[in-house]
Structures are given as structure tokens and as C-alpha cells.
Amino acid sequence: MKIGVVGAGAWGTALANLLAEKGFQVDLWAFETEVCADIVDSRENKLFLPGIRLSKNLRPSNDLDKVAAGKEILLLAIPSHVFRSVAINLVHYPSEKTTIISVSKGIENRTHLTMTGVLEQLLPAKLHDQLAVVSGPSFAEEVAKKVPTAVTAAAHRPDVAKRVQAAFATPYFRIYTSHDVIGAQLCGALKNVLAIAAGISDGLGLGLNTRAALITRGITEIQRLGIRLGADPKTFMGLAGIGDLILTCTGTLSRNWTVGNRLGQGMELDAIISQTRTVAEGVKTTKSIYNMSQKLGIEMPIAEHVYRILYEDLDPREALHALMIRDLKYEHDEK
């Protein structure tokens, strides 16, 4: 099976290597020339996934056309804010036999579309049923180290989901199938916003009680938005939902938690972003989620206050106080 992976960040590299170690021929597109050179010279992505020896079946390239052409599986691991600008260059390559998988976790700022929503705008209608999503609690570094991991593959067609499942399954990477493409993506995007909130809480030195409250009320916010947009309620209690949320809100490997943690310690957002080349998807996704919730009239107080901290310079302690003194209500109020 010929596979192309577009995006050589930590997650794209980890998944490309997983597939290559299974014996597949995998071409990996890297934007950065130094990433490509390092993999060729030392079999290591020193910039984004240091310390991991990469399979010889993984072939890096800076040539997007070479990576995308003639592939049976095309995996897109592109940051959401550049997803469209990269994907638009790929639309002529997939055939009706190509499975197109997104592992990007974000919502486009301008359109408020998920990544498969963007692809549906760009691709011919006959290819829409070939789209799939892989999401769930999975840090790239741990997957690369073969730490036992379970995730979800969602697709509208069961046979497409099963094809993804079969391609990725290993003794250390267990993959379940789902039909809920929209739900899996919303969970994957919103959990990054909530991870920033959890990181802020931890950075302020607040306790485990606070973090648990943020996670629990956070899944409620995800559910409110997801159900409005047609997601399956069961998704929120699964791997792509509460599973990924717990991991990202509690794991120090989380880039979004790290951003929040530093904000809670008093650092400025610009300074935090300037110190790393990796992307914390939640920073940009927060703006999308806030604008969506306002447009749809959906109450999402945690996401709203993360937005105000990131984009309106609200002091984190003031945000916490505002959350705690909101009107008292029934716990399972759906509004």
C-alpha cells in the first residue's frame, strides 16, 4: 500500500513511522528543509520528534506533489490555520480509491469549518465519502515510543473507517471505528481550548479540585456545541471526547496545557509563542469557538473566558472569579 503523509510535525511523523514500521511505503512531506535533511541523514526528526529512530520505509520529501501523487491513503497532519492553503494544492491527486484522513485538530477561523468541512469545499463531491478522521488521547511522543494507545477512526462509510482501522492497528495502537465525523473533530478541537484553561489553573497554583471541575464542565460545553451541530452524544463519553480531554488537560506533554500553564504563571502570550516552533492549536481555535458560540447563542463560559484571557488581556484570576460567581443553576441545564 502506498501512503502519503502531509505534515512532518510530531504527530505526522509519529503516524508516518507507525505505518512505515508495518511495512508500508510511506512518503512524508516536510515544509522545513532541515527536517527532511535530518531524516535522510540521521533517520530522526530532530526538530519535532527528537530521540525517535525512524523506519527506512519512511521517505521524507519537500516535494508535495511527489508525496501526494498515486497514493491509496493520504494522511493530512497540517496545523488548522494553514490546512486550507496546503490542502488546496492536493485536490487533483486523490481518486475514488484514495482514503483521505485528517488528524488535524482545529476549527478554521474564518469559516468555522472542521478540517473535513474544508476538504468538502475543496474536493469533488464524489470523494466526500472517502474522508476519515483519526482522533483520541494520543501524545505523539508516546505513540512513537510504542506506549499502548487507543484512538477512534471516524468516517461516514463503515468500510472507510474499517480500512483506516486495519491500516493503523498494531499491538500498541488500538483503533476503534465510529460514524461520527463531526463529533470526533469538535471534541478534538475544543479539548485544546479547555487544556489551555486547565494549564492556566495549574499555573495559578490551584488544586486538583479546580482542574477536575474544569474538565467536567468542559465536556458539558463540548456537548452543547456538538449536539447543536449534529454530533452523536455517545462520542463525548468516548476516546475522542472525554478520553482526549482528560489527557490534554492533565498531561504535561500537551502544548496547549503548557501555553495555559505559562499564562497562569504570568507570561505574555506573544512571549510564549515566540519560544517554540510547535503549534498550540487551541490558541487559534479559541477564537473560532468563541465566535461560533456567540453566533449560535450557545453558552460556553470556560471557552469564553479563555478567549478573553488570550485576546482581551483579561487577568486569569479575574476570569476564575467571574466563572465562580455566575448564576447558580441546575447541573444538567442544556442551555
Span 272-277, average pLDDT: 85
**Catalytic-labelled residue, pool 191, 234, 295, 335:** 191
What residue segments make up the domains of the chain, in order of their start? 2-179, 185-324
pLDDT the model gives residue 238:
98
Instruction: Tell me the pLDDT tens digit for each residue of 55-84.
Output: 999 999 999 999 999 999 999 999 999 999
Predicted confidence band at 280 (pLDDT cuts at 50, 70, 90)?
Answer: confident
pLDDT the model gives residue 334:
67
Cell numbers that stand for 177 in this block: 471505528
Instruction: Tell me the pLDDT tens digit for each residue of 304-316.
Output: 999 999 999 999 9
Q: Domain 185-324 belongs to what architecture? A: Orthogonal Bundle (1.10)
Instruction: Tell me the pLDDT tens digit for each residue of 1-56.
Output: 999 999 999 999 999 999 999 999 999 999 999 999 999 999 999 999 999 999 99
201, 264 in Cβ contact below 8 A?
yes
For residue 168, how far is the Cα from the chain centroid? 17
pLDDT the model gives residue 120:
97
Write down the residue that cell numbers 476516546 correspond to.
239
- What is d(CA 153, CA 174) in angstroms, rounded to the nearest whole number? 10
Q: Is 191 a known active-site residue?
A: yes
> Looking at the domain covering 2-179, what would its CATH class be?
alpha beta
Summary mean pLDDT of the chain: 96
- What is d(CA 31, CA 8) in angstroms, rounded to the nearest whole number? 7
